[in-house]
Chain A
Amino acid sequence: MDRSETASAALAGLRGAAGVPMLLTAGGMAGFGALAHDTGFSGWQAVLATVAVWALPAQVVAAEMYAAGADLLAIAIAAALTSMRFFPMAVALLPGFGRPPGGMAGRLLQAHLMSATSWAFMMRPAVPTAPRPRLAYHSGFTLGCISVAAAATLAGYHGAAGLPGPLALGLLFLNAAFFMVLLADSRSRQALLAVALGAVLCVPIHAVLPEASLVLSGVAGGSIAFALGDRWRRRQ
């Protein structure tokens, strides 16, 4: 494995990200930037959130709950519940890189750069399968996306501040639109049940306990769907 081969795999990763993955990332992160402005973050705090959290749901949950006046523990629990998906994703993705340079630090870096978009992309057959080129491809892909995301966050932040009112409201709508489509795309009946329960339970719970409504609706909806789904599964 020579250096030019690694470089060309990294470039291929960057080219793979250019297009739909970067557009989706930019749209979502511009929406987050607008929300961050609306809720009182500073511009650099919004960009820090994008680069260091690098998980749109956790970022939006944190900004939304901050605006609602929730305390740090509630925000931590809600963010952790939305980010749990990275655990099975990392378990499935990282072995393909073999032993990355830098040992555990290198492995943690790749786990941080990974996103739902990059993860799905890495499962495609066009991506190299040998460990070193695969690692280089993933690095090129994700570093490209995270750079675009940082710029889009700042653009959304300043867009919300400076654009005419209607356009700023359009930016604010982006997050919810992306999440709706993501949720509608869940293929299993059990996941759709969890989605429906979470949405329906949120309204009454919010009326009583506004600060905890995200976590409570999530845990209640998820647990009911889990219990019912396992019963379905057993009957089949």
Chain B
Amino acid sequence: MKTPVTLTLNGAERAAFADPGQNLLEFLRRGVGDLSPKYGCGQGTCGACTVRMNGQTVLSCLVLAEMAQGATIETAAGLATPAMHPLQTAFMDHFAAQCGYCTPGMLVSAKALLDRNATPTRDEVIEAISGNLCRCTGYEPIIAAILSVAQGRIRA
């Protein structure tokens, strides 16, 4: 039996039917059509599916779609408005994405950090992205990109 789920995705109200047991990741991707959260492990270890639910970062592969009924969801697809968010520009300038697969989840974690702490230390940045695995960059460019936004050193 499919369940109707209504939520606010990146500021717009969206509705779709969830399959029994479907997770929020698959619901967002195949039900609603936001393909920015990625599947990497399905068991909450890689962070590629990270989204914000009512302001909190969650691993959408571990959240049942039905639990998102009425929730506010933010994903990487909503960062540009349509001008690029400073974090996106910083990621581009710092070569903070190579294959790009972890990037949407990484950006969501970074945005959540800066929303609660506008001037994080390097350690706080590392802590904030510690749940997001990247296999390409070695993390340093990502940390540098996030710090550059926090310190207002972003190039136009």
A and B: interacting chains: no
